[in-house]
Amino acid sequence: MIEAGREFIESGQVKLFTVDSVDGQSWANPGAHPADRALRHEQYDRYIVQEVAPFMREHCGNTNQKFLATGCSMGAITRAIFSSGIPTCSTA
């Protein structure tokens, strides 16, 4: 993915921010109670909304640039759910 976008990244047209998931502590944790899995995922979502997104916006000069969230496997599912459920992080 990085190689395919190298030209845009190096020219400054695109910025990449990578954030690790907590899937191993939430949905993919077979040893945790389902309620605890959901709680951990909710904590992660709050972290993204309250810390990561503001950091990204500030790093981009507080412009109205749009974010694109993507991921592979569980990350893709998580981002799709997250993006559709948070009005401040979605244009839908």
pLDDT tens digits for 40-85? 989 988 898 889 889 988 998 988 877 777 767 666 666 666 666 6
The DSSP result for 6-53, as a single string, is HHHHHTTS---------TTTTTT-TTS-HHHHHHHHHHHHHHIIIIIH
Percent helix, strand and coil across the chain, each to the nearest 5: 55, 0, 45
DSSP for residue 88: G
Encoded tokens for 14: 């695109």
Q: What's the predicted TM-score (pTM) here?
A: 0.73
